[in-house]
Structure 1
Amino acid sequence: MKILITGGSGLIGSNLIPILRPCDVSVYTRNVAMAEQILGHNIHFLSTLAHLSNLDDYDVVINLAGEPIADKKWTDEQKSKIEQSRWSITEDIVALINAGENPPKLLISGSAIGFYGRQGEQIIDENFSTPHDEFSHQLCDRWEFLARQAESDKTRVCIVRTGVVITKRGGALQKMLLPFKLGLGGPIGDGSQYMSWIHLEDMLQGMAHLIKNESCEGVYNFTAPNPVTNLEFSRELASSLSRPCIFKVPEFVLRMMMGEMADLVIYGQRVVPKRLQESGYEFKYPKISQAFDSLRKN
């Protein structure tokens, strides 16, 4: 099987590639030298797609490329960069899929639970139809719309709406660890907002599940089946580090530091992976205590 990945040097892509072996994996990247440092030299790298007339040589395309959403304040310029880094490559990939006579059998395209926007305590599955209209929703809504244009009787499309990925290898959790290690960590605001999370291993094995199961298509929430409040998340993280959880991070402090981007952590969603479980996937880490225990042991 031949697989093309965009965003292959990112957290999910770089850890997914070993899972996909012995498949023939190619990675599209604008910075081949950096990607080689992360992934090694035994991968075929594409620095441009301009020379391709279609993607008929590939069986699967996994589209994960995008500017990190939480690395910088959301100025108008940064918002545009976040949008275009996702939308443009998705448009290009879809155009190449649709240009072929024997296109890839599957496109897996990234998204995020930010699609739903801020929500309260209501349990949200893939059938939820009233997202809150804000930047994260607008970003993901357009991203998903573009990916769906590849759907045909020859190509199935799976949209992966990802929650907070639990891993020591990078991502959002790595940014949270330092204050907790110092004993200064705690919930954000009153901690009542829900956090929908997924262990990295379930993230990777879930994507492999979509590839193997040809009946899988459409939208999938990639979150563990047991979302928790920010307070519970904070307590479990502190416990896994044998540290206290007594300090709170006031909302106004986050607003000063992060601006509008603070909405990502001040508000939340209680998202469950209904369709992924119905398709037969069994989570290795369904509970947050299990996820944090695995980080301590590994």
Structure 2
Amino acid sequence: MATILITGGTGLIGKELTKKLTNRGHVVNILSRNPKKNNEFRWSLKENFIDKDAFTNVSHIIHLAGAGIADKRWTNERKQELIDSRVKTASLLFNKVQEYKTPLKAFISASAIGYYGAITSNEIFTEEDDPENDFISKVCVKWENVALKFEHLDIPVTILRTGIVLTKSDGALQKMNTPLFLSSLGSGKQYMPWIHIDDLCALYIKAVEDKKFTGIFNAVAPEHQTNEIFTKTLATTLKKTLFPFNIPSFVLKTALGEMAYILLNGSRVSAKKVSKSYSFNFPDLQSALNNVYNGK
């Protein structure tokens, strides 16, 4: 069994992934700014510090750390935090792996479909497509570039460009399950690539357990849904009233500033590459939401 070092282990995905990895017999070490449990080890970006003991017997690193993209308004200070919490932390890991001569079998990193930009188009983006040139895309490019540096150390790298993660506790669905968001946003025609948290965790586990599962993958379900259809399906599943009007774009832009663009835009993202080596447990939105809310 592997010993895995996880950043962002106390976050939405990290908690569930840690539980699933542990249930499969793996050992999980978690990096934390304020460690409280036996398997938590201190790290500090400001101090350029990671507890050396965190790397004991570690064979894999899963890098999930990153400030929440939609948690706060995008001020210049917040934008820098979004970058540093992903990019500088990855660089710190890279430096410490070299310093401590950690014999990693793989470096596995989160990324996001924001790589393709906050745009609405007719294109179905694949892993081979170029990035956009907006802020969210630039964050992802910098994030991935640091992860790919591990290849220079002959360490295999897996990057998962993740869509909206569907889970009942916290996350996007909790924010959408409010009167404000139980209506279409803007035109409602923008796409919302998504993935059930169980499928996402399974992909991370696959990256640990399957040596052939390396490279860059779109971690999204194969079904494409617009914001309008997504919202209607969510309302039906929750048995709640769907507001009959769309929230105008200017309202969101006024309330959220530049961050509104990630809600008002979205294109289809292809799951063909990842589907060649992984069969989704929840390939369609209805089954995913039924599981999240009804346990079916």
- Is the shorter-chain TM-score for this pair beyond 0.5, marking a shared fold? yes
- Which of these residues, 216, 219, 222, is aligned with residue 219 of structure 1? 216
- Which of these residues, 261, 266, 269, is aligned with residue 267 of structure 2? 269
CA distance in 2, matches of 1:138, 1:153: 24
What aligned pairs does 1:68-83 form with structure 2 within 5 A after superposition? 68-83=68-83
| 2:10 paired with 1:9 | yes
Give the superposition deviation at 1:296.
2.7
CA distance in 1, matches of 2:150, 2:54: 12
CA distance in 2, matches of 1:293, 1:72: 29
Partner of 2:60: 60
Partner of 2:111: 111
CA contact (8 A) 1:186 1:249 kept: yes
Partner of 1:26: 29
Give the superposition deviation at 1:97.
2.5
| 2:296 paired with 1:293 | no
CA contact (8 A) 1:55 1:104 kept: no
Change (3 A) 1:295 1:173: same
The Cα RMSD (Å) is 1.8
Could you report, residue by residue, the CA deviation over 1:154-206 in whole angstroms, capped at 9, with x for unpaired residues? 411111111001110111111111227xxx71111121001100011111111
CA distance in 2, matches of 1:132, 1:10: 27
What aligned pairs does 1:32-181 form with structure 2 within 5 A after superposition? 32-33=35-36, 41=37, 43-48=38-43, 49-52=49-52, 55=55, 57-99=57-99, 101=101, 103-117=103-117, 118-129=119-130, 131-152=131-152, 154-179=154-179
CA distance in 1, matches of 2:69, 2:91: 19
Change (3 A) 1:153 1:81: closer
CA contact (8 A) 2:31 2:54 kept: no
Change (3 A) 1:98 1:179: same
CA distance in 2, matches of 1:283, 1:18: 20
Give the superposition deviation at 1:228.
0.7
CA distance in 1, matches of 2:144, 2:77: 22
Q: Percent identity?
A: 35
CA contact (8 A) 1:108 1:159 kept: yes
Partner of 2:46: none
| 2:194 paired with 1:193 | no
CA contact (8 A) 1:90 1:143 kept: yes
CA contact (8 A) 1:161 1:219 kept: yes
CA distance in 2, matches of 1:222, 1:233: 18
CA distance in 1, matches of 2:54, 2:230: 45
Give the superposition deviation at 1:269.
2.1
Give the superposition deviation at 1:94.
1.2
Structure 2, gaps ≥5 residues long: 44-48
CA contact (8 A) 2:52 2:100 kept: no
Q: Which amino acid aligns with 1:191?
A: G
Could you report, residue by residue, the CA deviation over 1:189-228 in whole angstroms, capped at 9, with x for unpaired residues? 1210011000111111111112111011111111001121
Could you report, residue by residue, the CA deviation over 1:115-164 in whole angstroms, capped at 9, with x for unpaired residues? 110241211111112x3210100101001001110114741111111100
Matched residue count:
285
Q: Which amino acid aligns with 1:103?
A: P
CA distance in 2, matches of 1:108, 1:174: 27
CA contact (8 A) 2:168 2:292 kept: yes
Change (3 A) 1:51 1:296: closer
Change (3 A) 1:293 1:236: same
